[in-house]
Amino acid sequence: MLTRLSISNYALIDKLSVEFHKNLNTITGETGAGKSIILGALGLILGNRAELLTLKDNSKKCIVEGVFDVGSYNLNSFFEQYDLDYDSITILRRELTLSGKSRAFINDTPVSLKTLRSLGLKLIDIHSQHQNLELVNQKFQLELVDTIAKTTKILESYRIIFTDFSKSKKLIDELKTKAEKANADLDYFQFQFSQLEEANLREGEQANLEDELKKLTHAEEIKSALTDAVVLLDDEQLSVIKNIKGSQKNIENIQDYISEAPELAKRLQSSFIELQDIIEEANSLAEKVEYNPARIEAINGRLNIIYSFQQKHSVSTISELIELRNSFDEKINTVIGYDEEIKLLENRLVEQNEKLAQKATQLTLQRKKSFAKIEKSVVSDLQNLGMEKSKLTIEHQNLPDFSLNGKDSVSFLFSANSDVKPAEISKIASGGEMSRLMLAIKNLLRNSKALPTVIFDEIDSGVSGEIGVKMGNIIKSFSDSTQIINITHLPQIAAKGNTHFQVYKYEKAGKTYTSLKHLSESERVNEIAKMVGGENITAATLKTAEELLRG
């Protein structure tokens, strides 16, 4: 609950600090006194947008601080999630600097505005006339049903399956799109692959063929060169190899006379052997070389195939063509793989659909069980609020497809009169009826979950007289378990508060300010007397005020 609110330098507020009662707090004041300003300041610690125009004095920063007792809210996990120090007495603070920057703090630790808002919404629920519009929102109505039906665990389980189901559907759609595109290109892939596959390309083939073609086209030159080389080395008249052999014998004859001779003879012997090998290899090569027009034509044909593929695919090597062929093969297999993967996913989707349908059915049954309770509780409160002939029915429809919240659509149908058929709230309920409806729903919610501090901002709009008294009784009962801050214009409701605050304006040094003061018992009697009969307080209005305060 909110134990203290401090505001400084915000709009018309110079400095304000107020401590609230744990049950029902009444706030009253003349129209334009500044009740909305206080709510606006409170909204800052709930993460609402801030503007520099909110600074009362442009030379000082604006500070709004709320002190909360959160000991019974089970918020330890929230503090752990955001790495914050937990304290049962928690302080939310918002600062607006002179430069227009906004800073947020939780227990003096700087936090993002999103984090501040996440915690703030767990601590305060501001109900205004605008929030009455939520009544016509089917999402709000379904959330209300879920709260009363206590579907949290089933809904969480359902949403896990639904998330997987949605992912599978999305993946199937993506694969089908890819498969459709790939199938459109499949004929092209298969044609290109077939051409390259039939070509039977081999690594190194091009270089070998080009080398062989050079030899064949220059066969006569090669053969002539080899033959001439052999003749020069081993001619009958001037044989190099015979001369070397003769030189070797001459050196051997003098080896007894000169120490270098054996080494020279040995070297000549090596040269003789090497030349013999050269002659034999040259002869062998010369014998193998022959002009072969048929082979030349065959090689040219093969190379032309290779060159045409290289030109077609803008590559320069057989390796690149082989790589290209393999890529076409992979693309063909991918298309086939898409079909197989889609089939597997569709089988999985069928299983997920069955599980989802089972969980959705459980969810529907549990929600429907709560309808009678909601209808009975709300109608009972509405009858206590003077709407004896009111009716509320919850209409249920099955959605055609699964959604994040199941397959249920609920619509609250309302009627304030016995002779009028229940219809959508937005089409049939007046402002006062909507206020009473929302109060009845809030009252129902407090028995189903721990509500944070609830601020009613003129929830009694459109209500008066005896109905106001009854509404005050419900709000009073509500405050037994939930802290209520009730901004009201009805004396019947204002008198129900455990404590009473007045919003007022005053002037100081030619400037207008708004503030909030806690009323003493006598001040409270006067304030309620004014609410009853206007500024001119009489004995009758004072008596009425005292009677209202005595209940």
Query: pLDDT per residue over 301-330, tens digit each?
Result: 888 888 888 888 888 888 888 888 888 878
Write the CA distances from 79 to 37, 88, 222, 480, integer angstroms: 30, 11, 91, 28
* Contacts of 382 by beta carbon, 8 Å cutoff, 6+ apart: 390, 392, 436, 437, 440
Q: For residue 407, what are its two tokens?
A: 């397959």
The mean pLDDT value for 6-14 works out to 89
In DSSP terms, 91 is beta-bridged to 67
How far is the C-alpha of 133 from the C-alpha of 336, rounded, in Å?
54
* Contacts of 380 by beta carbon, 8 Å cutoff, 6+ apart: none
What element of type H or E holds 517? strand 511-518
How far is the C-alpha of 288 from the C-alpha of 279, rounded, in Å?
14
Tell me what pLDDT residue 371 has.
95
Domains detected in the chain: 2-128+422-519 (3.40.50.300), 180-336 (no CATH), 520-551 (no CATH)
Window from 31-40, 61-70, 139-148 with minimum mean pLDDT: 31-40
* Contacts of 65 by beta carbon, 8 Å cutoff, 6+ apart: 5, 6, 7, 45, 91, 92, 93, 94
Task: Report residue 529 CA to chain centroid gap.
Answer: 55
- Is the pLDDT higher at 26 or at 206? 26
Hey, what amino acid is at 261? A
Query: pLDDT per residue over 284-308, tens digit each?
Result: 888 887 778 888 888 888 888 888 8
- What does the DSSP 8-state code read for residue 111? E
What element of type H or E holds 297? helix 293-312
Query: pLDDT per residue over 78-101, tens digit each?
Result: 999 999 999 999 999 999 888 778
62-69/24-29 β-pairing: unpaired
Burial class (CB in 10 A: 0-12, 13-18, 19+), 325: buried
Instruction: Name the range with the highest mean pLDDT among 379-393, 397-411, 426-440, 472-486.
Output: 397-411
Q: For residue 177, what are its two tokens?
A: 């799109």
Q: For residue 537, what are its two tokens?
A: 């307080």
Exposed e or buried b per residue across 469-507, where buried means at least 16 C-beta atoms within 10 angstroms of its C-beta: bbbbbbbbebbeebbbbbbbbbbbbbbbbebbbbbbeee
The mean pLDDT value for 239-253 works out to 83
Going by pLDDT thresholds of 50, 70 and 90, the confidence category of residue 337 is low
453-457/511-518 β-pairing: unpaired
3-state DSSP assignment of residue 418: coil
Q: How far apart are the first and last CA of the chain?
A: 26
Q: For residue 123, give the nearest of 481, 450, 479 by alpha carbon.
A: 450
Diameter of the chain measured on Cα atoms? 162
How far is the C-alpha of 444 from the C-alpha of 482, rounded, in Å?
12
The phi and psi torsions of 110 (rounded to 5 degrees) equal -60, 135
Tell me what pLDDT residue 51 has.
66
Residue 398 has pLDDT above 90, yes or no: yes
How far is the C-alpha of 136 from the C-alpha of 138, rounded, in Å?
6
How far is the C-alpha of 174 from the C-alpha of 458, rounded, in Å?
52
Q: What percent of the chain has pLDDT over 70?
A: 95
CB 465 within 8 A of CB 434: no
Query: What are the CB-based long-range contacts (under 8 Å, 24+) for 379-385?
Result: 381/436, 381/439, 381/440, 381/443, 381/444, 381/474, 382/436, 382/437, 382/440, 384/470, 384/473, 384/474, 385/436, 385/439, 385/440, 385/463, 385/467, 385/470, 385/471, 385/474
Tell me what pLDDT residue 130 has.
53
Residue 458 has pLDDT above 90, yes or no: no
Residue 406 has pLDDT above 90, yes or no: yes
